[in-house]
Structure 1
Amino acid sequence: MPPGLKDVAARAGVSIKTASNVVNGYVHVAPATRARVQAAIDALGYVPNSAARRLRGGRSGVVALAVPELRSPYFAELAGQVVAAAEPRGWTVLIDQTGGRGDREHDIVAGLRRHAIDGLILSPVEIPAGDVILRHGVPAVLLGERIKDERADHVAIDAAAAAAAATRHLLRLGRRRIAAIGAPDRPSAVAPGLRLAGYRTALAEAGIAPDPRMEIPADGLGRPDGAAAMAWLLDSGVRPDAAFCFTDLLALGAIRALLERGVAVPADIAVIGIGGIEEGRFSTPSLSTVDPDLERTAQLAVDLLAERLGGTGGPATAAPPRQICVEHRLIARESTLGRPAP
């Protein structure tokens, strides 16, 4: 068994309380006593049980991250960034997926206290997260594509602005018949609705009226959905010269469908997505995208949660919730610009 505090106290000839005071950095310990205890710690190789100390102080050092799905490279990369941002604070991050289901989102928020988790970073899809968080008293930071609830800390990207940036990029390249792949097929689809609004805004700025035939819903947000939507568009007889896809995975699937039909990308149809996933750098052609800066998003979420927990050197804050919008950036690659000349 590794040495414990009792062994340190016995070797130093002091009480367990005194040994504990030295380990925890209390100042009211005589220098000679502190030196004896430290010598015992060094001789025994004693390592303080930081987890037990955190629990005694009301903190477990464990936080949770809940996202709709981990199979998505976007959320997998976000999870990696959250873990990296939490590591310098000594936090362990437990990761769960909700499937975008309201019941799972409720269960995760409600179960935090039972599992001694200090706080939560949540990307909600269905639940009115502010209601649940307030009811359970859970320190939490929300992620998403807009500020949906001002009763909780929130880190968001401006989905409409990102969509407009992607569409403007295609317009600057001289494209005028721009399809929107991933358009919402129901009013409750908030994120696709915001992206559709941004797409239409950019078209309106260019004096182009939206064409309902160019706004193509998708069954999901993955590669097969993008391929199926592009195939349906081509079969419909409506020929775009560009496609703005509402996720990078939709864009990668759309490119595959185009290449299988002998349609050149970007010569015949240029394609751009949103997400900034690493896979887009290595696709053929490489994918133009709007990068929402997941590293910055993760760092802000961890910092906000630390402040809410009192992890910045002060007590846990009861300050009003904060809402932060993260800047995006457009990355133009081969799927819209073509291959550079050799």
Structure 2
Amino acid sequence: MGVNLKDVAQRAGVSVKTVSNVVNNFPHVTPATRARVQRAIDDLGYRPNMTARHLRKGRTGIIALAIPELGNPYFAEVAGDVIDAAARHQYTVLLDHTVGSREQEILVSQGFRSHVIDGLILSPIRLEAEDLAARRTGPPMVLIGEREYDAPYDHIAIDNVAAARAAVRHLLRLGRRRIAFLGARHDSVRQPAHLRLRGWREELTAFGLRPSQSLVAATDGYGREDGAAAMGRLLDSGERPDAVFAYNDMVAVGAMRTLSERGLSVPGDVAVVGFDDIEEGRYGPVSLTTVRPDKPAIARLAVECLLERIAGAGTGGPAAARRISPGHELVVRESTAGRAGGA
């Protein structure tokens, strides 16, 4: 038999209700009593039965997180942060992989697996506004990621335009003037690539420069190989930038590889800025200057908003959908600043 509340109460010399108040972190317990109960919990190795607790509330204790790319370090890091944030609320996370497919994102958003989850955090990249407007059933849902939607769901996303402008401003202050953008897309204008490209244009214009379309390189995807290929095409076209602002860190890493193969130094010949602050960028041969979204805050806010929606399901809950923008910062490293004492 496992240790139960009654066992803890007997060891601590308090009532079962008092133990329950401590376990649930209710405030109306004196510090001395709380400490005595906690010692009894530790001594006996008591662990709350979270499954039973959730079932008593008519819930499963599971939320789902649907991301487009398991192999993308950014999404992997966000997933880890969501799992940690959910665990602090005694929730388990079911991870779903949409492979960036609109059909799969629709399936997930319309309530797939709704019988086993209490809510969904979705990071869409192909889903359209009409797909969300058509959603009639399914558990509470919160959106994360930088794609913009006019939809009645809480959405946690950083300000991509402001972040891009900060990256370009940094390059301009270093004296760079031919700043390329790698990672443009030809699809929906609500994609984050368009927002980051917009920030690139706005900052160059504010500085008094005319943004040159010849310095904008589109990519099919957002991996290292896409960045390497785009950088190669840009150089082959005769355009020689003195700086690159890349859609994300993986595109930036690929671009730096091509620059190295072409005999160009980073940052001596071409300074490079990425976006996302993935671990790989911190430990490459040339550490990468990047925009760092506050990923722990994104995860925490998404979980808290979702649990608030779950708690309010059927009772009205929060009145209106919220758009929340966590912070971001520019992290300057060797790809723009160079090594100490070096180029």
Q: Same fold (TM over 0.5)?
A: yes
Q: Which runs of 5+ in 1 are unaligned?
A: 9-19, 26-43
1:198 alignment counterpart? 199
* Structure with max Cα Rg: 1
TM-superposed deviation, 1:112: 3.3
TM-superposed deviation, 1:50: 3.0
Matches within 5 A, 1:19-168: 49-109=49-109, 110-115=111-116, 117-127=117-127, 128=129, 130-132=132-134, 134-145=135-146, 147-168=148-169
Percent identity at matched positions? Answer: 49
- SS for the counterpart of 1:309 is helix
- Provide TM-score, normalisation by structure 2: 0.82
Aligned length: 311
Question: What per-residue deviation string (whole Å, max 9, x for no partner) do you get for residues 44-101 of structure 1?
Answer: 9997643134223211110000011110001000001111111111110111111121
TM-superposed deviation, 1:180: 0.6
Question: What per-residue deviation string (whole Å, max 9, x for no partner) do you get for residues 97-141 of structure 1?
Answer: 1112121112223213222x0101111122236425x51142111
CA distance in 1, matches of 2:266, 2:137: 51
CA distance in 2, matches of 1:77, 1:68: 13
CA distance in 2, matches of 1:310, 1:62: 13
CA distance in 2, matches of 1:77, 1:45: 31
- SS for the counterpart of 1:263 is coil
1:31 alignment counterpart? none
CA distance in 2, matches of 1:164, 1:23: 53
- SS for the counterpart of 1:157 is coil
Question: What per-residue deviation string (whole Å, max 9, x for no partner) do you get for residues 147-167 of structure 1?
Answer: 413411110111111111111
Contact 1:130 1:149 in 2 (8 A): no
Q: Which runs of 5+ in 2 are unaligned?
A: 7-15, 22-43
- SS for the counterpart of 1:201 is helix
- SS for the counterpart of 1:224 is helix
TM-superposed deviation, 1:260: 1.3
Change (3 A) 1:47 1:223: closer
For structure 1, which segment, 51-60 or 172-181, has the greater mean C-alpha deviation from structure 2 after superposition? 51-60
- SS for the counterpart of 1:180 is strand
CA distance in 1, matches of 2:288, 2:60: 42
2:221 alignment counterpart? 220
Letter in 1 for 2:302: A
Letter in 2 for 1:194: L
1:309 alignment counterpart? 310
CA distance in 1, matches of 2:328, 2:175: 23
Change (3 A) 1:267 1:112: same
Q: CA RMSD in A?
A: 2.9
CA distance in 2, matches of 1:23, 1:170: 58
Contact 2:147 2:191 in 1 (8 A): no
CA distance in 1, matches of 2:316, 2:20: 20
Once superposed, which parts of structure 1, at least 4 consecutive aligned residues long, lie more than 6 Å away? 20-25, 44-48
1:182 alignment counterpart? 183
TM-superposed deviation, 1:235: 1.2
2:299 alignment counterpart? 298
TM-superposed deviation, 1:332: 0.9
